[in-house]
Amino acid sequence: MKEIRIHGRGGQGAVTTSEIIVYAAVMDGKFGACFPYFGFEKKGGPVSAFVRIDERKIREKNQVYNPNCIMVIDPTLLGSVDVFVGAKEDSILVINAKSIDDIKIPPNITKVAYIDANKASMEIFGKLLPNTIVLGAFVKATDWVSFDKVSEKTREVWGPKNIAALEFGYNNVTIVEINGGKGDDKN
Q: What residue segments make up the domains of the chain, in order of their start? A: 2-177
The Cα 48–Cα 55 span in angstroms is 24
- Phi, psi at residue 134, to the nearest 5°? -65, -35
Return the number of other C-beta atoms located less than 10 Å from residue 9's C-beta.
Answer: 17
Q: Which candidate, 55, 68, 65, places its Cα nearest to that of 28?
A: 55
Name the residue type at position 125. F
| Edge-first strand listing for the sheet containing 174-177 | 31-38, 46-54, 2-9, 69-72, 91-96, 109-115, 174-177
Write down the pLDDT at residue 181: 67
Q: What span, in angstroms and rounded, lies between the C-alpha atoms of 41 and 21?
A: 23
Q: Does domain 2-177 sit in CATH 3.40.920.10?
A: yes
Averaged pLDDT in 10-residue chunks for the chain of 187 residues:
95 92 97 81 80 95 93 94 94 97 94 98 94 98 98 95 96 92 48
159: left (phi over 0), alpha (psi -120 to 50) or beta: left
User: CA angle 31-95-60, nearest 5°?
Assistant: 25
Q: What is the pLDDT of residue 65?
A: 94
